[in-house]
């Protein structure tokens, strides 16, 4: 009897088990960022020989499961693997979300990526591989390889990106999540970024990405650190550059340690040293540079949360062409009218006055947390300290003292939320709080160009994009910013009265010293920025983008308060206290074709800017330090219109052709004259040979042609020469002639071991040593641009 009962119980158990093992677990594997399906993802049930793969829609189905809890591991080739625990009690549906990271592409420029910062503005991206070619150069040099981007140069080492004709405060630069605050108002103030810290560089031509700021009248440059995968590894790279022009080079090295549990740390450093650069026919005396940079970051990266601490230090010493700082009026006229610099000395690595020294500290703490129904919440605090020293040619006890000494401290806190809670819709919103203090050292013995001030910023924004269907997407956003500036500024009484400030702003004077007055302007600016646009996929190969952006920019301290000699710029600059904020309306269209053999994109745009602030030369003024050009700011209505064109053709399996063309026209609509410093039309054509079987050999020959700028304002004036008693014309308007440069570059890989790779690169710029002058080089009045440069690069990955 006991045996019979036991048999019945065992059979009942078997029947029970068999009845509960016909359940189905189904669902989808999706991208955690935008909910797009991940095909060919592998799902493995731990402890059982059960494995399946998701289909093209990310869907999967696992049959014959029992009523129990399973441990499931989900893998995808572009993602970090993630484990899940799933309780099966009947037919069960489950969605798995993975942190999807696309692999680095080999293309030099990636146009219009789907997962960009915006969806209705075509973006340009430089990959890590392309950036490594510029390891010994600057951020501006790298950006100059993108259509629509030129550079405003002060000699060879100070390069500011100029996007669709706009630069300085109109271009927002984001460095590893931090908006750079490095006194970008100066025409010769280059971005304080070591390009070797960037894993990728993204350019947005316009103010469409409102989360980064509403004042990007020209565009936004986003430098992002290399992505660190969640795995147990230690890796790094070292890049060595040697260059013939400047007879120097650079060394950059980076080492990263990562762990399976998400912890990581990375250390990077760079040193660059160059002596005097050379034109084809003479040495450009006092143009050397000495740069030292370091950065460190560490953090924890989990799927649902993470945080990071980051610190970088950038220090640069840059010589300014000695021939650009001249004495009397006759010398100034002779220097501008001469075909060669008036001062040419022997080559040296010494950097003497005139020069500038810049030190920039950046500290950032950031973290994120994902909430199932709310979205991803990001919080960040950063601090920046920028110290800028400019040295003029001085004698006596002040010879080694800086003529301009500015220290700028910036504190910023931001909170952002990104939500995909609504089907096919992504919503972003955030708030920013900022405090900035500028201290101008009064003990320089020279009138302070930029005054002491405190600035408070508050900004809020919201953006949304919605995929209507597989072809149509729409995007819209709005941002509000409030700025308060509290300034202490000394004015010369004669200047104060000549500008009629004594009548317009008598309440600003807090003390009268007779020859000068101390004032306390408190200025507020409230700005609204917005964006809207659409993108349409005509078919698999053709896309269309349209975007409208409204950008608002308050005037910067230089435009408002400059009143004196800007030493490293070698000119007197005069601002205006009455300036209002700029308002820019930009319309941009893009048509894009992407196929295996032929690709192209065409991007026409028009940018109408009300109350545009422009600086122009007006005269030469004699001072106790010599004669200097006087450049004055004024406000007008402007319009810029142009087109950027990119095309590529795969001629054979190994041979390809790339073409770029850009043209922009800028007009002062109030005076009906062209704007100053608008880049001339230019085109680049390159033919490239690549062969993976020959150690990834790559050879490229590039033709770069810059047309003569035929539209420019007449800013010439006459100068009285005491020595002769006559007046002579100073021509600051006429642009230099067109020029044509040939450049060559090549690289090849050698495998050193299973984990180490050596890449050798050779680049020759201005192969034929052509003499030319660039209209956008501020020192073109005094000297030719650079001659031939042979650059050898060695990169070791380990």
Residue ranges for the chain with pLDDT beneath 70: 1-20, 33-35, 78, 80, 100-116, 624-626
Other Cβ atoms less than 10 A from the Cβ of 759: the count is 19
- Residue 735: closest CA among 769, 679, 775: 775
* Alpha carbon distance 262, 273 (integer Å): 37
Q: 3-state class of 577 per DSSP?
A: coil
Class of the domain covering 2-98: mainly beta
Closest CA to 319 of 294, 348, 339, 359: 348
Residue 788 DSSP label: -
Work out the number of other CB atoms within 10 angstroms of the CB of residue 478: 17
Check whether the bond before 625 is cis (ω within 30° of 0): no
- pTM of the predicted protein model: 0.86
pLDDT of the residue at 320: 92
What count of Cα atoms within 13 Å lies in the side-chain half-sphere of residue 194? 31
Q: Which residues lie closer than 8 Å to 508 by C-beta, 6 or more apart?
A: 501, 519, 520, 521
- Bridge partners (DSSP) of residue 93 are 26
| 40-58 residue pLDDT tens | 888 888 777 788 888 877 8
Domain parsing of the chain, residue ranges: 2-98, 224-797
What is the rounded distance in angstroms from the CA atom of residue 638 to the CA atom of residue 493?
32
Sheet strands (E) in 372-515: 375-391, 404-419, 425-440, 452-467, 472-492, 509-512
pLDDT at position 10 is 40
Q: How far apart are CA 82 and CA 304, in angstroms?
A: 11
- 363, β-bridge pairs: 311, 383
List pLDDT tens digits, range 608-661: 999 999 999 888 787 766 677 889 999 999 999 999 999 999 999 999 999 999
For residue 16, what pLDDT is reported?
A: 41
pLDDT at 12: 43
Please give the pLDDT value at position 107.
32
CATH number corresponding to 224-797: 2.40.170.20
Looking at residue 46, its pLDDT comes to 77
Dmax (CA) for the chain in angstroms is 136
From the CB of residue 540, how many other CB atoms can be counted at a distance below 10 Å? 8
Residues 311-368 have pLDDT tens digits of 999 999 999 999 988 777 777 788 888 889 999 999 999 999 999 999 999 999 999 9
Q: What is the DSSP string of 703-754?
A: EEEEPPP-------EEEEETTTTEEEEE--SPPPPPEEEEEEEEEEEEE-SS
Distances (CA, A) of 761 to 34, 494, 659, 694: 38, 59, 22, 14
């Amino acid at each position: 009897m006991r045996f019979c009962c036991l048999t019945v119980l065992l059979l009942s158990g078997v029947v029970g088990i068999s009845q509960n093992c016909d359940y189905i677990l189904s669902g989808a594997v999706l991208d955690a960022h935008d909910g797009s399906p991940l095909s060919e993802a592998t799902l493995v049930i731990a402890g059982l020989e059960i494995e399946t793969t998701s289909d093209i829609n990310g869907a999967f189905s696992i049959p014959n499961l029992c009523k129990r809890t399973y441990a499931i591991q989900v893998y995808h080739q572009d993602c970090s693997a993630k484990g899940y625990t799933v309780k099966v009690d009947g037919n069960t549906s489950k969605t798995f979300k993975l942190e999807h990271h696309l692999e680095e592409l080999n293309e030099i420029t990636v146009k219009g990526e789907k997962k960009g910062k915006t969806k209705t503005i075509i973006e340009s991206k430089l990959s890590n591989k392309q950036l490594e070619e510029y390891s010994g150069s600057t951020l501006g040099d790298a950006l100059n390889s993108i259509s629509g981007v030129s550079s405003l140069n002060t000699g060879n080492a100070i390069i500011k990106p100029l996007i669709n004709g706009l630069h300085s405060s109109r271009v927002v630069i984001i460095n590893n999540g931090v908006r750079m605050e490095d006194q970008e108002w100066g025409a010769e103030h280059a971005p304080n970024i070591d390009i070797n810290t960037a894993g990728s560089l993204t350019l947005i031509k316009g103010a469409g990405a409102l989360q980064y700021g509403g004042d990007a009248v020209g565009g936004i440059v986003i430098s992002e650190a290399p992505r660190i995968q969640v795995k147990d590894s230690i890796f790094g790279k070292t890049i060595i550059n040697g260059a013939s022009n400047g007879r120097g080079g650079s060394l950059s090295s980076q080492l990263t340690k990562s762990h399976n549990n998400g912890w990581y740390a990375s250390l990077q450093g760079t040193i660059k040293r160059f002596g005097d650069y050379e034109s084809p026919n003479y040495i450009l005396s006092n143009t050397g540079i000495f740069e030292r940079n370091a950065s460190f970051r560490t953090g924890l990266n989990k799927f649902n949360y993470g945080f990071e601490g980051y610190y970088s230090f950038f220090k640069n010493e840059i010589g300014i062409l000695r021939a650009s700082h001249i004495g009397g009026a006759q010398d100034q006229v002779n220097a501008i009218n001469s075909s060669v610099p008036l001062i040419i000395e022997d080559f040296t690595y010494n950097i003497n006055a005139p020069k500038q020294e810049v030190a920039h500290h950046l500290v950032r703490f950031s973290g994120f947390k994902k909430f199932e129904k709310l979205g991803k919440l990001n919080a960040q605090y950063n601090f920046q300290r920028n110290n800028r020293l400019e040295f003029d040619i001085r004698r006596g006890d002040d010879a080694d003292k800086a003529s301009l000494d500015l220290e700028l401290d910036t504190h910023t806190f931001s909170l952002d939320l990104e939500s995909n809670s609504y089907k096919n819709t992504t919503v972003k919103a955030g708030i920013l709080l900022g405090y900035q203090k500028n201290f101008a050292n009064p003990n320089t013995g020279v009138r302070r160009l930029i005054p002491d001030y405190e600035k408070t910023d508050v900004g809020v924004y919201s953006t949304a994009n919605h995929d209507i269907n597989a072809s149509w997407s729409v995007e819209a956003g709005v941002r509000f910013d409030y700025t308060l500036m509290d300034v202490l500024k000394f004015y010369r009484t004669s200047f104060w009265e000549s500008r009629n400030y004594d009548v317009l702003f008598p309440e600003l004077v807090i003390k009268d010293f007779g020859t000068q007055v101390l004032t306390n302007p408190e200025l507020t600016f409230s700005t609204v920025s917005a964006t809207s646009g659409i993108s349409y996929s005509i078919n698999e190969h053709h896309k269309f983008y349209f975007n409208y952006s409204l950008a608002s920019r308050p005037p910067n301290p230089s435009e408002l308060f400059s009143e004196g000699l800007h030493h490293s710029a070698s000119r007197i600059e005069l601002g205006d206290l009455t300036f209002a904020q700029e308002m820019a309306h930009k319309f941009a269209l893009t048509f894009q074709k992407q196929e295996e053999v032929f690709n192209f994109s065409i991007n026409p745009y028009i940018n109408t800017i009300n109350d545009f602030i422009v600086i122009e030369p007006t005269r030469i003024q004699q001072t106790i330090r010599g004669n200097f050009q006087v450049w004055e700011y004024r406000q007008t209505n402007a319009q810029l219109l142009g087109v950027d064109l990119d095309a590529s053709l795969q001629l054979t399996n190994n041979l390809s052709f790339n073409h770029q063309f850009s043209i922009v026209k800028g007009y002062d609509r109030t005076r009906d004259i062209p704007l100053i410093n608008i880049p001339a039309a230019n085109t680049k054509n390159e033919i490239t040979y690549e062969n993976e079987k020959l150690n990834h050999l790559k050879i490229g020959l590039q033709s770069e042609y810059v047309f003569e700028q035929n539209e420019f304002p007449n800013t010439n004036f006459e100068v009285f020469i005491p020595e002769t008693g006559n007046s002579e014309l100073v021509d600051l308007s006429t642009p230099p002639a067109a020029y044509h440069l040939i450049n060559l570059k090549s690289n090849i890989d050698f495998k050193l071991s299973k984990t180490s790779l050596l890449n050798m690169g050779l680049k020759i710029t201005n192969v034929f040593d052509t003499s030319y002058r660039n209209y956008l080089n501020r020192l073109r009045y005094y000297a030719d641009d650079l001659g031939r440069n042979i650059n050898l690069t060695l990169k070791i990955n380990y």
